Every structure is written in structure tokens, then in C-alpha cells.
């Protein structure tokens, strides 16, 4: 059974370009994969917690040495990472906010880069625990400016950041679908192209 995880992070609800695209992807995925398991999170509605001092202490305390309080915290902190580990396809709605991802998406990433679940250190060298699992990530991103070419390309910290952090945990199959620009007609045209791309992306067989 195909497992899809979909994460939204736009602060806009009804007028969000990225939410429109993630919504379309989920709908198409459901049609193409009968019985698919779909988990969705709206990081704005959920108020993702920030990394806390107690949380860090918990993560770096061996399982048999954790207090009951730490054990509860560990369970709570594990939810997002466990879902990611279980997913075959991960869809991220990631608007560009100040040249990178929204703060809520960064807070989510701080929870999925999880020692022992998605990465580890082996004698000081990082090990990407999700590599070789054929996971795919599709990032739907929207920005007011166009970052395809220099000099603006150098100001795009969103795509390189997401590729780096996902690669760190072992996910290298990452596709970006972008809607770029302020002009309403251009946004409309690019959104339509993105919707057509969804058809092709969902059409790709899942290597599960
Ligand atoms: C807080 C904030 C910061 C933004 N920063 C940038 C930016 O750095 N570069 C850019 O091109 N557009 C920026 N924008 C424009 C958004 O990327 C654009 O409106 C996009 O459509 C937002 O995605 P959404 O439609 O899914 O909400 C920003 C918008 C907001 C609200």
C-alpha cells in the first residue's frame, strides 16, 4: 500500500498557491493509488513546537537511562520522524519566505532530522538512515520573485537548503515544482503548468 505524507506550511489558507498544488497532488495520488495511506499536516494549524532544552537532553540520553518524563517527551517528539520513515512519497508545500522556508517548516525539519531514526553518527561520520529506501520528495514552492538565473539565483536558499537537509537524511530523489512571480496572469499560467506536471509525477510508478 502506497504511503503519502503531505506537509503544508503556508500562512495563507484560501489564496495559497502551494496549498492549491499540494491539494491537487493529494487528490490525484488518491485516484491513482487505491487504498493509499495518506497522512497530512498543516504546520500553521498545528503549531509545531521548537526544539527545547529538555528535548535535546532526551534525544541524547540512551533509551535505558531516560526518565519517565523523558520517555513521554521522546514519544511525542518521534511522531513526525516516524511518519517520514514510513512514507514512500513526501509532498512539501514550501512557500519562499525571506529567501528560505517558512519558520514552521524549519521547526518541522528540526523534528524530522532525528538521531537514531533518520540519521546517526558512526565514529564521527554522519550516516543517512533513509538512504536506499526509494523515498521521493516533491516540493511545491511559490515565490514573488524568479530565482532561475543569476544574480537572483544566489539568493535562493530554499532549494539548496531543502536538498542539503533531505540529502543529509538520505533522500536524494527530490523534485521541485515552482510557481514564481507576482503578476497574476503569470502565476495563473505557472500554476496550470504545475498542475499538468502533477499528472506526470503521479503517473510515475512507485518503487515500493
Ligand atoms: C513573510 C513573507 C516573506 C516572503 N519572502 C519572499 C522572498 O524572500 N522572496 C520572494 O520571491 N517572495 C517572497 N514572498 C512572497 C511569497 O513567496 C509568495 O507570495 C508565495 O506565493 C507564497 O506562497 P503561498 O501562495 O503558498 O502562500 C514572501 C511572502 C511572505 C508572506
CATH number at residue 10: 3.40.50.360
CA dist 145 and 132 (Å) reads 35
- Residue span of the structural domain in which 162 resides: 3-203
Task: Classify residue 87: in a domain, yes or no.
Answer: yes
Task: Classify residue 191: in a domain, yes or no.
Answer: yes
Non-local (6+) Cβ contacts of 134 within 8 A are 88, 173, 206, 207, 208
Query: Is 4 close to ligand 1, i.e. is its CB under 6 Å away?
Result: no
149-182 pLDDT, tens digit each: 989 999 999 999 999 999 999 999 999 999 999 8
- Mean pLDDT, the chain, whole residue set: 94
Pocket test for ligand 1, best of 143, 161, 177, 182 (most atoms within 8 A of CB): 143
Omega before 151 cis (within 30°)? yes
30-58 pLDDT, tens digit each: 999 989 999 999 999 998 999 999 999 99
Atom 27 of ligand 1, nearest CA residue: 16
Task: Classify residue 186: in a domain, yes or no.
Answer: yes
Task: Classify residue 193: in a domain, yes or no.
Answer: yes
Q: Tell me the CA distances in angstroms from 65 to 51, 68, 80, 94, one per residue in order.
A: 21, 10, 23, 38
131-146 pLDDT, tens digit each: 999 999 999 999 999 9
What's the pTM?
A: 0.95
Instruction: Give the count of domains, the chain.
Output: 1
Pocket test for ligand 1, best of 20, 95, 106 (most atoms within 8 A of CB): 95
Task: Classify residue 208: in a domain, yes or no.
Answer: no
Task: Classify residue 24: in a domain, yes or no.
Answer: yes
Amino acid at each position: 500500500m502506497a504511503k503519502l505524507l503531505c506537509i503544508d506550511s503556508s500562512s495563507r489558507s484560501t489564496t495559497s498557491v502551494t496549498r492549491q498544488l499540494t491539494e491537487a497532488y493529494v487528490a490525484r495520488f488518491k485516484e491513482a493509488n487505491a487504498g493509499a495511506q495518506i497522512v497530512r499536516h498543516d504546520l500553521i494549524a498545528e503549531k509545531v513546537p521548537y526544539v527545547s532544552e529538555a528535548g535535546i537532553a532526551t534525544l541524547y540520553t540512551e533509551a535505558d537511562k531516560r526518565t519517565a518524563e523523558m520517555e513521554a517527551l521522546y514519544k511525542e517528539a518521534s511522531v513526525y520522524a516516524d511518519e517520514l520513515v514510513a512514507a514512500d512519497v513526501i509532498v512539501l508545500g514550501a512557500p519562499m519566505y525571506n529567501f528560505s522556508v517558512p519558520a514552521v517548516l524549519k521547526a518541522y525539519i528540526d523534528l524530522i532530522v532525528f538521531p537514531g531514526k533518520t540519521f546517526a553518527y558512526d565514529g564521527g561520520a554522519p550516516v543517512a538512515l533513509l538512504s536506499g529506501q526509494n523515498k521521493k520528495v516533491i516540493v511545491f514552492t511559490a515565490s514573488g520573485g524568479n530565482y532561475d538565473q543569476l544574480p537572483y539565483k544566489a539568493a535562493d536558499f530554499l532549494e539548496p537548503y531543502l536538498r542539503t537537509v533531505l540529502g543529509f537524511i538520505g533522500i536524494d530523489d527530490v523534485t521541485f515544482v515552482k510557481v514564481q512571480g507576482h503578476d497574476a496572469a503569470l502565476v495563473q499560467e505557472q500554476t496550470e503548468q504545475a498542475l499538468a506536471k502533477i499528472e506526470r509525477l503521479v503517473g510515475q510508478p512507485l518503487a515500493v
